[in-house]
Structure 1
């Protein structure tokens, strides 16, 4: 940040707080910050704790770590002095934590430990002349925002990236002092309004670099290979890989077109997925390649014929993998989950299927694998949708506008 940005009347700086940044899924945040700064808004990056190096395979990791201030572990002595000089604010912070009645007492006791980290956030903002923190989470990081507002008058806003139950409890307390809470899908905005009907809840999707994530040049001549499907998702039962694997087996058993499936990602369900592949006899049709960099994601998408995301439950909101695939001109087979109905117009720019419905997944896969012209039409429409809805620069500008409005009102 420039010296001018830290002065009253200079370019108003913003702090962006992202838990455990940078991580595997954080390429979007890095792009968003770059877009805001290109628009003239200095951004101070803040995070809770530094993740392990292997948590982020992306090329921007070292640059991101170098730019990020971590508020955990806090300097306890410095925090104690800060709080001793502001006994009223310290007492208000304790009352906030003790007032979290949806949180069990033992958990509230542990949340008291957030107060020193909130002090670190306040000190950073005051030193840099920052009066607004945007927090990309509605979990414990949202409590940090509320505590920083109590301790130092720092305004904050939140983004909800998934269903509220995933992010704990006491959301009313987290949101009570927020200037706004944006949501990445319309259903999530409705969840915010169910907690705080009076709170601005703009829908601002995450975004992708539609210049970089673009269709690969068409190969010369027909490609004599199986229909290539890719999934880019952590290996978690909620991602529903097993349902797509069962659809592949059903298509094979019905004599359908040959399909190859590449699974990028890692996680606790790896052994179960390996066992499912073996049980279905798909060992020669599936590759598990582990976590991959953003560069590798791009090459996978540009070399594939379709993307599959057959997730279940409440774990998805506006999946970035779907956006990236559509930007690359790929037809997507996606569960109806979270905001995917807002992202995909079924039958026009992608194919939506009910959760856990192997028969529907099989039918969608058959449509694409058996009819290259149909798959091509879907992919062309998907690219057009991505340009219209998912470009990260446009969505970062919308978030910046909401933050500026909050600052002006403050």
Structure 2
């Protein structure tokens, strides 16, 4: 199969009968640690994948947008009236319309454009294919219109497109990783101040690899469980009298204050997960990569038992990877399906992945797919 930029360019030519003015790419992401902490004003540590959404684009003389998708083969067209009405454009094209809307709502003169989208970011796997789409489109439109959109403001704009146009209440982590990541590093993000630090994460020099296993379990949380977890966290913060759960500095006291056991478990996950992010960052700053393994595993246990967002496929992948010799393993992403990551010796990647596949066959699950992830670059023009 041809590379993704070439597929996007070919799709543009086929759909619109012309050559694109350029190609822009934005990556999916893996969250090394820090799950459901972002919307609690906490800390996260994602890194960008080499897998990318690529947008081939050219400006139009009118205020209309036509978008072709390689995945569906369809072209969706909308104008300013549809773009300015959150939720009017539905499905995958809603993410594109949402970017147009959020830029226009901030006063930017967004150019009309034709866009063709191709991707090798697995959809529905918890690797933020939607954030990659938003980030690639935003980067393309900003360049096409010569819009002076500060880079540090772009993640928030992309997040607003997803929150307020599409209706998915995600935090800012995914868009931050897709736009601001640096190759060879994990992005340490304070989700309250939006301060970032690029943390060296070159696993190869330590003889290690990050094995990512796509469990291929259904990954759906836009309208239900994800939103309910966020709501529980916000309600708990209000009961505890703090702006967000990030501000809980005495966990025992907080747990004793809350009467609802489910809410207590939600709080315990967020508070302890924030600390695990800080501990992981400290280890990576010291070059002690292998030692982050137990923190990854503890994160998974917390997601499974306290936040209750795992499913049998991801739990089996984690336990099997650990039994096969992984230093640590955890689900990554919003939960209820998706991917697992495991920190393994580079020489053992295939063996650990094969062990997970064998375990799946024994349970009758869909065969998983896997790859070894290296931290990639954020959104950029590629041609």
TM-score normalised by structure 2 residue count: 0.30
Higher strand proportion (structure 1 or 2): 2
Larger radius of gyration: 1
The structure whose RCO (Cα within 8 Å, separation 6+) is larger is 2
TM-score normalised by structure 1 residue count: 0.28
